[in-house]
Amino acid sequence: MRIPMSSSTPPAQRSEPRGGLDRFFSITRRGSTVGREVRGGVATFIAMSYIVVLNPLVLGYGPDGAGNTLGGDRVAAMTALVAGVLTILMGAWAKAPFGVATGLGVNAFLAVTIATNPGLTWPQVMGLVIWAGVIMVVLVLTGFRTAVFNAVPDSLKAAIVVGIGLFIALIGFVNAGFVRRIPDAAHTTVPVQLGVGGELFGWPTLTFAVGLLLTVALLVRDVKGGILISVVLTTVLAHVLEAVSPSGSSVENPHGWSLVVPSAPEGLFAVPDLSLLGSAAPIDAFTQLGGIACALLIFTILLSIFFDAMGTMVGLSRQAGLEDANGQIENVDRVLLVDALGAVAGGTGSVSSNQIFVESSTGIADGARTGLANVVTGVLFLAAMFLTPLVNVVPFEAVAPAMVVVGFLMARNVVNIDWTDWGVAIPAFLTFAVMPFTYSIANGIGAGFVSYVFIRLVQGRAKDVHPLMYVVALAFVAFFGIGVIHGWAG
């Protein structure tokens, strides 16, 4: 999918590189400019930077089975360091505009499910992440991961893009407080609602609404850098409103700001604490839990990061126009290898598995097409180690409008699904429906893959299914039934 962009440069001239930097990153060949790449890299960082604040809240303060914590400041510094290094590697070596950082979902799984095992320590938990990463690296180097990607039917690939678009939009609505979970005490079968009690209140919600209208206006007017401009102007509005009429945090006030309350940073410099680097213990977990239990946990982590990244890569590549006529993604092996190394690096840094971030779509929508944008994003992450207070400047409500608009751009791929063939149409629907409803890219892909194989068998068209799809479908059956399997294994 190509995002419309105005350009006065004739296609014939765009084919000729204009210098060493241009040739290295294929900037002109991909129809971009250095200015667009820088702008897109900044937009991606702004959209992703919340992970430096959120990951410490998920991992930093919760005790492990021995009662120890990782420490919020240490997790924040290592989150920024690992994200910066991997994002630069993705840009400079894989030449892709895909930011890399700690993946949400896996980190919560580690904190809530694994780390709470009696006697299990955080170094041992992160050791399990390293093992999952090592296996992933082997799967990439042997070509298995790329082969699985090539075995997926085109309609399911399109559905993955649509699902990610809906998922991104839902994240934007939730981050802005426009959509909220209904408390369990309500005893209702409806899980979410509009605002608070079905009504919209508060300056943060108004900020989101104004930002969304502004982003849409800039998009339809084809303004260069429209998304970044909207984020900056919406951030300014947020600071003005908070200064004039403070709303505070949504923790104390349901009408307040989610996570980041717009405020001027207290100081601009902070010395990062990198003492978590290399503290993981890959062997000790087997001694504590036993081989079978560790193998099941590693399998769960592996399958989640395997397909989360693959789905995100498909969606971002189509959005950036990095697929050729045969649906092949440029430098796909390198992209997948860097993503696999993200699990190893994340475990080594004790910040959970790192993976391709779906928020990279924000930078792509603002013009990013090459690895140069990623280098910009990565450098900003490295700077965030020392300038962590600045991460608190941009509230979620200022970024959420961009995510909703990007979700629309990606959802347009629904026209590429073959709705006349129920064998792929139903799995496609399940793919893009399950993703946002379960808040998981991997769950959506699993639902699509399993149903695709099942329906083809029912249709008597077993030979139309690539052999690897059978393998993956069985793996997903095990993934969805991991709780039962874990119970059988004791």
User: Does the residue 446 lie in any domain?
Assistant: no
Q: Which residues form the domain of 116?
A: 30-416
User: Does the residue 90 lie in any domain?
Assistant: yes
| The pLDDT value given to residue 486 | 65
Asked if 96 contacts 335 with a C-beta cutoff of 8 angstroms, the reply is yes
| The pLDDT value given to residue 479 | 82
User: Does the residue 332 lie in any domain?
Assistant: yes
DSSP secondary structure string for all residues of 273-295: --TTTT---TTHHHHHH-HHHHH
Distance CA 238, CA 231 (A): 10
| The pLDDT value given to residue 261 | 86
| The pLDDT value given to residue 4 | 39
Chain CA centroid to CA 28, Å: 27
User: Does the residue 465 lie in any domain?
Assistant: no
User: Does the residue 394 lie in any domain?
Assistant: yes
User: Is the pLDDT confidence value at 353 over 90?
Assistant: yes
Which residues have C-beta within 8 Å of that of residue 454, sequence separation ≥ 6?
Answer: 473
User: Is the pLDDT confidence value at 426 over 60?
Assistant: yes
Asked if 378 contacts 84 with a C-beta cutoff of 8 angstroms, the reply is yes
- Residue owning tokens 């000790």: 284
Domain count, the chain: 1
pLDDT in tens, 361-384: 889 988 899 999 999 999 999 998
User: Does the residue 1 lie in any domain?
Assistant: no
User: Does the residue 439 lie in any domain?
Assistant: no
- Determine which helix (DSSP H) or strand (DSSP E) holds 355, and give its type and residue range: strand 354-356
User: Does the residue 8 lie in any domain?
Assistant: no
Distance CA 176, CA 164 (A): 18
| The pLDDT value given to residue 453 | 97
Helices and strands, number each (H, E), in the chain: 21, 4
| The pLDDT value given to residue 63 | 86
